[in-house]
Amino acid sequence: MSGKETELECNEERSQITTNSHADLLVVGPGVLGSLVGRRWLELHEGCRVVGQTNTTNRHEELLSLGIFPVTKDSHSGDKFPYVIFCAPPSGSENYAAEVRAAAQRWNGEGSLLFTSSSFVYDVHDNGHCDESAPITEKGTSPRGDRLLNAEEEVLKVDGNVVRLAGLYARDRGAHMYWLQKGTVDARPDHFLNLIHYEDSADLCIEILRKNLRGQIFMGCDNTPVSRQDIMDIMMHSGKFAGNFHGFTKSDGPLGKKMNNSQTRERLGWQPKYNSFKDYVSTL
């Protein structure tokens, strides 16, 4: 089936669905995280419509199978939604802030608008403590930081919300799998990382959306910072991952940060399912 045929069938289905317009959700960038949010939103809001906006038609059939109605960004009708979440990474856009601005314009101002940013923007190093009040990287420090901060501004200026997520992972996705595949990694082992499982990240995003908040910034992490070496030790000692990891080869270079999002948890009444990478691996 061609992408055009899929698009036509999708539009036909959309016109036949009775929707709960007060809970309709637009997911811009329905990748792993966005698809999870969309599926769970459908479970929580019977009769609503979830639309997934993509750059291409490559995954449209898959999205339809999940109950998410796919549209490409250049073919949508311009409908506005009470709930909008932007999950697309900066790598897929030449002008990221403009993409986020366009998504914000699809919000009708009723429910909630949420942008999934990154904990990269926190200016904390040397494995130092980092919470929601930590300083932010100054603009001009890095192109990546500038892209994220400019995108955040587009959302905050229209009273949308931002969640700065730590490293996302699942069994076969994340830094641990990249390192396992490489075998030897030119990085220092004592650099601390911060993680959050994809499922927990999706639940956190939904919690923010459903509270109909305005102009707030949240942090997403599991509150258990872990060194690169500890991540690989947990993996290899579990016996649940195939491969040979030989180690990290550097003893110098930049260190990370140790994140804690207790303020976010208190404000939202939210807790993750997986309190650490080790806890998650023990469930496999």
Q: What is the pLDDT of residues 149-161, one digit of tens each?
A: 999 999 999 999 9
The identity of residue 198, as a single letter, is: Y
What is the spatial distance between Cα 103 and Cα 26, in angstroms, rounded to a whole number? 9
The stretch 47-56 carries a mean pLDDT of: 93
Confidence band for 75, pLDDT divided at 50, 70 and 90: confident
pLDDT: which is higher, 76 or 117: 117
CATH T-level assignment (fold) for domain 80-123+131-168+196-223+261-273: Rossmann fold (3.40.50)
Of 74 and 137, the structure prediction assigns the larger pLDDT to 137
Q: Average pLDDT, stretch 265-280? A: 97
Could you tell me the pLDDT band of residue 10, with boundaries at 50, 70 and 90?
very low
0.75 surpassed by pTM: yes
Domain ranges of the chain: 80-123+131-168+196-223+261-273
| pLDDT value at residue 217 | 98
What is the predicted pLDDT for the residue at 76? 60
- What distance lies between CA 3 and its chain's CA centroid? 26
Q: What is the pLDDT of residue 91?
A: 86
21: which residues sit within 8 A by CB, 6+ positions away? Answer: 49, 82
- Tell me what pLDDT residue 111 has: 96
pLDDT at 144 over 70: yes
Share of the chain above pLDDT 90, in %: 85
Confirm if 187 and 243 have CB atoms less than 8 A apart. no
pLDDT recorded at residue 77:
67
Supply the pLDDT for residue 20. Answer: 59
The pLDDT tens digits of the residues spanning 97-118 come to: 999 999 999 999 999 999 999 9
Which has the closest alpha carbon to 87: 58, 116, 129? 116
